[in-house]
Amino acid sequence: GQSLEQPSEVTAVEGAIVQINCTYQTSGFYGLSWYQQHDGGAPTFLSYNALDGLEETGRFSSFLSRSDSYGYLLLQELQMKDSASYFCAVRGGQGGKLIFGQGTELSVKP
Amino acid sequence: KAGVTQTPRYLIKTRGQQVTLSCSPISGHRSVSWYQQTPGQGLQFLFEYFSETQRNKGNFPGRFSGRQFSNSRSEMNVSTLELGDSALYLCASRHDRGLTNEQFFGPGTRLTVL
């Protein structure tokens, strides 16, 4: 089957950098994605890594190491509006279904 | 382009009843997935439909079923509701040939079972 592990919560201060790690287990792998969900809102796509290395999109970067079954989301210059839940998700297994981790609740303090 | 829409947004049912939720994907998206979200359980995958066929299925009991129509709209049905079925049900669509596998989520249907 597929499973993902990520920390349940992280706290950081405004302007800081925070890294949210994700390890996964899957038979077959088509890519690791990250989604952001604010309270009461729908998850929105942040990034996708199919190959090893770092992908940068503005203040957010995502990294993947397929040999370690590991990835992370890096958020720089944290802002209060970044307070949200962050989910890693892996597409894999038979049929390539997208499975989500339990989510990491990020709290950004002033 | 209109986003993913879900109806109804809120629903209250009692144990033993059944419920049907509806999802309209983004125009041109043929893949529709359903997720159940509860506090502490994250997003649990229910099933994925593509071109009217169930392509993937999660680990939910047979009380949970779905279907997809020729216009890609999808419905999911939960029969014999239990208290534990109270959750936010999210639908997501994607373009099957998208480079990033990005899924676009609807606002969800909040189901409360009393």
Q: Which DSSP symbol is given to B80?
A: S
pLDDT in tens, A51-95: 999 999 899 999 999 999 999 999 999 999 999 999 999 987 767
The pLDDT of B54-61, averaged and rounded, is 92
In which band, very low, low, confident or very high, does the pLDDT at B42 lie, cut at 50, 70 and 90? confident
Distance from CA of A47 to the nearest CA of B (A): 8
Question: In the prediction, which pLDDT does A63 show?
Answer: 98
Average pLDDT of chain A is: 93
pLDDT of residue B99: 64
Most confident residue range from A26-35, A92-101, B49-58, B71-80: B71-80
- Percentage, residues of chain A above pLDDT 70: 98
Cα(B43)–Cα(B92) distance, rounded to whole angstroms? 12
- What local confidence, expressed as pLDDT, does residue B98 receive? 64
Q: How far apart are CA A72 and CA B105, in angstroms?
A: 22
> Would the pLDDT of A29 be above 80?
yes
The A-side interface with B (CB below 8 A) comprises 30-31, 33, 41-45, 48, 87, 89, 91, 94-103
pLDDT at B4 over 90: yes
Q: Which residues 49-78 of chain B have a CB within 8 Å of chain A?
A: 55-56, 58
pLDDT of residue B73: 97
Q: In angstroms, rounded to a whole number, what is the distance separating the alpha carbons of residues A81 and A54?
A: 24
Whole-number pLDDT of residue A30:
85
B90:A42 CB<8 A: yes
CB within 8 Å of B48: residues ≥ 6 apart:
A95, A97, A98, B31, B32, B33, B34, B54, B55, B56, B57
Neighbours of A14 (CB within 10 A): 12
Enter the DSSP assignment of A110. Answer: -
Residues in chain B within 8 Å Cβ distance of A7: none
Q: Is the pLDDT of residue B101 over 90?
A: no
Contact A44, A37 (CB under 8 A): yes
Q: Mean pLDDT, chain B, as a whole number? A: 93
Q: What are the two backbone dihedrals, phi and then psi, of residue A4, each rounded to the nearest 5 degrees? A: -135, 145
Q: Rounded to an integer, what distance in angstroms lies between the CA atom of residue A35 and that of residue A63?
A: 14
- Cα B69 to Cα A14, B24, B55, B91: the distances in Å are 47, 10, 14, 15
Task: Report how far residue A45's alpha carbon sits from residue B30's, in angstroms, rounded to the nearest whole number.
Answer: 18
Report the gap between the CA of A8 and the closest CA in chain B (Å).
Answer: 9
Q: Which residues contact B100 (CB under 8 A, 6 or more apart)?
A: A31, A33, A45, A48
pLDDT for A47 equals: 94
